[in-house]
A and B are shown apart, each in its own frame.
Chain A
């Protein structure tokens, strides 16, 4: 039972990291678009790829957390 609780704490920590990471990417993309509005399309594409990669890490943590008993 104790280890089950720790798993949830671990998932929370992983998601916290992912949230911070995607937040930074979003923020930086906003700044970049504000600086160079004509490059908005390229910045968005790169932003989505990076966000998708980081999101994958968080989801892998969740899946492992759900399966490791």
Chain B
């Protein structure tokens, strides 16, 4: 049973690599792809654009771009992992791999620019939330497994491997922390004893501990994976505002469905407030319910995004100055910020968990008179 995890991991890696190499070479040999390449490099040595490079790295994409090589003829070869594209347009479901639209290819009226799926029809844009209510027209809904979704799936596999390994290790060693459990146990105990119990209280902490542990490890592992520049990481999951929005929404729901009488009493009938002030106080208190998760969402997103931008702009200094003399300083600073980001990765996961525990504690707190 112990080997099952390792085997599964190995098989997944082999599958991904074969998928990648197969798609990669089939594209590179196409005549259309080559002509697209020559068009791209016609202007020869396009100037380095730091903002474009940084935005490319921190934003989501429909393919997982790995690297770009330039051959002797000056043609660019993009090596990327193709990801499934799932679109709904005019009530029709379209599915294809992103490799079929890469390098300027066209497939079922779609192509890809800068890693994002776009329609060849100019009027058909990506639908947003407002379009769902005002009518879609010929806009398309993008439900693709994008880079960030793939990143989340990879982190889920990683988290499952870690924690199934932990529970197996406890079973094997009769409850003694050995192997991977000796790594996870101190962290779990820290969250229980320093975060959950002081903020929520002894009685109810056990109910919310699984939720707190889940958000802590999900955010922490995704922060760390976002710092890895190579394939399994680098997806910048927690630097995507949609991901942090959903995390904050889960907190909002968990806090408010567990709110007891005194919690809602403080919102709709604040104690000690004169009646004429209530029309002002109730909306303010009600907004307060929403601003807390909003701040959670913004804090995580902004911290992680800012960290990535810092590292990338330090690295791009070398390319901006086109000088090797700047490299030692740039590399040293980038290393320093990267190490700082390792701290921030844990700190932001910790702060998100502490604040969630605090809000839950406020919602379930029993009034003592």
List the interface of chain A (C-beta within 8 A of B).
Answer: 45, 48-49, 52-53, 55-56, 59-60, 62-63
Contacts and interface: CB of A to CB of B under 8 A. Distances in A.
Given A48-B350, A49-B354, A52-B348, A62 B306 contact: yes
B194 A52 contact: no
A56 B350 contact: no
B342 interface: no
Contact of A59 (B194, B306, B354): B306
Contacts, number: 35
Q: Report whether over half of chain A's contact residues are helix, strand or loop; otherwise say mixed.
A: helix
Contacts of B302: 56, 59-60, 62-63
A56 B295 contact: yes
Interface of B: 194, 295, 298-299, 301-303, 305-306, 347-348, 350-351, 354-355
Most A Cβ at <10 Å: residue of B299, B301, B302: B302
Contacts of A63: 298, 301-302, 305
Given A45-B194, A48-B347, A48-B351, A55 B303 contact: yes
Q: Report whether over half of chain B's contact residues are helix, strand or loop; otherwise say mixed.
A: helix
A45 to B, nearest CB: 7
B298 A59 contact: yes
A62 B310 CA distance: 13
Contact of A60 (B298, B347, B348, B355): B298
A59 B244 CA distance: 15
Given A60-B295, A63-B298, A52 B306 contact: no
Contact of B351 (A49, A59, A60, A62): A49
Contacts of A53: 299, 351
B304 to A, nearest CB: 10
B273 to A, nearest CB: 26
Contacts of A48: 347, 350-351
B344 to A, nearest CB: 9
A52 B299 contact: yes
17 contacts: A45-B194, A49-B351, A52-B348, A52-B351, A55-B299, A55-B303, A56-B295, A56-B299, A59-B298, A59-B299, A59-B302, A59-B303, A59-B306, A60-B295, A63-B298, A63-B302, A63-B305
B208 to A, nearest CB: 18
